[in-house]
A and B are shown apart, each in its own frame.
Chain A
Amino acid sequence: MDIKDLTIQKALEGYRKRQFSAVEVVSACLENVRRYNREYNVLLTVRDEKDIIEEAEHVDSLLPLGGIPIVLKDLFLTDSVRTTAGSKVLEHYTPVYDATVVRKLKAAGAIIIGKANQDAWAHGSSGENSDFGPTANAYSKNLVAGGSSSGSAVAVALGMCIAATGTDTGGSIRVPAAWNKLVGFKPTYGRVSRYGIIAMASSLDSIGHITKDVADSAYVLSITAGKDPLDATTADKALGEWRPAKTLADVCIGIAKELPCGDEARSFEALGARLVPVELPHILSALETYYVIVPSEVSSNLARYDGLRFGDGRSAFGAEAKRRIMIGTYALSSGYYDAYYKTASKVRTLICRDFAKAFEHVDVILAPVTPTPPPNIGEKVNDPLALYRADIYTVPVNLAGLPALSLPSGIQFIGPQWSEEKLFSIGNAYELHAHYRH
């Protein structure tokens, strides 16, 4: 049993057939934590090994995730386990309750190995804005891991766990997943509860995960999805059942010149899909729209960190957090609200409309995840705007609240709201065709 080859499905099958035990699997994960954590700076907090082994010994293997080791991004409040959001502000914070998603994963029998490093407050797309140092890319220590769910991606890639949770407000699951050759999933906004997950931009935050293949991704969603009375933005919509598809014969894939895919589009024609050009003119303004709306919502969400009820106080905020708080405060302030925030909210409407129109003609839209491969650590850190540009292909999706699935080859599928099962079917067909090694 090589942990690096194990998917959730293979692990559950191995448990069922008694080929190996949960204790062996989590022990292999812990061995990889010992081997790689310091060098790659992946996990900020590792749970007590004795507790992990004991859970693995007693877990009910009939549970949907019974004995599956996972890692949680450090935005996910975990009862009695330090949760930092990647920030010195919360360096000494221990939650007294679980996020809804954490509760669901625990109830499903998942075993939490630890909490993943990330850009502080999810502000970033490289991992370099962590107050605890950047996480290195699993494939090359000089390269950034991508962010903000940097530790989550690298933990899966280095065999510290089989799946990891993340959040995606502007690409923060899809970017690190793509840059570490994994599957990244961002659900429709409102599909998965945000309760107990430290908020970045409340109208864009989406709660997803990083896995080794598409089947695992769909499986994890079946556990985390659902209306939650504790999150009023969750919808009462059943998750469609996805079906593995060998061909894409009746699938229409949209290609937009604003989202240049190069040759990737041809693989889909080979699978039988029809490629249809679509127009998304307003996504050329998506990055500006994002960097007004998000800092505005951030300035509100981070106001609670006053160091009184929890946290170490506002002077512990890092530079990027301070920049975003100030941009947001300014954009919302009297005299500037109309020119900045209200204008951006109107452009957001136009972006939503562009997508809605495109989806009248196509099932999904194909797009690259990032404009470039991962840069070297430290290369862009002094130019905030340069780092922002890594998100040009991911942020439009969050502004419109759409689901998206990113694949190890660096492409993503974007679907209309509530179309997750379509994304999984198409992703699965592509995956079989591309023969990924895990």
Chain B
Amino acid sequence: MTEATSQRILVERAQRGDHAAFAALVDLVVRRLDGVAWLMLHDAVLAEDAVQDALLRAWRDLPGLRDPERFDAWVHRLAVNACLDLARRTRRRPIEVELDPLDAPVEADASGALADRQQLEQALGRLDPGHRAVVVLHYYVGMSLPEIGRALSIPHGTVKSRKHHAMRALRASVVALPEPTEPAIGGQLA
């Protein structure tokens, strides 16, 4: 039995009120949803609220899901919408990222990678929640643009537009260095 088939069976059982099946579904998706919520909100308490809201709605409304195969897309949609609700209700503040002190010498690559993540995290936090949702759903969850349109209930053109603007803003925020070139020797290219 494939993983998709076993999940579908769990969904069908949960739709009929099988609580154990729902618990198994939660175990399958909660970590991913938590990641989505964290990327959207960057606040552990709010992320938990959003995921909890989404999964409780999922339990309540599961009998209305016509196609069990769509469970993943559907529950991600619930989570993103819960995050958007919370993002709009809570006071806007820049997402602050603590820069971890480097206590010991580390490999250059590792510290560079850490800095990249922190830069990206800050840049992501500066995006409008709707734009952030498109980036998270496309690049983190892996949804296609039409799927994102359905998830956010916006037209395809709007998804493309938001992606374009979000990527431009992210790029402008995080891309600070020129493209790598050969190291200069004596002020001249080798």
Is B one of A's binding partners? no
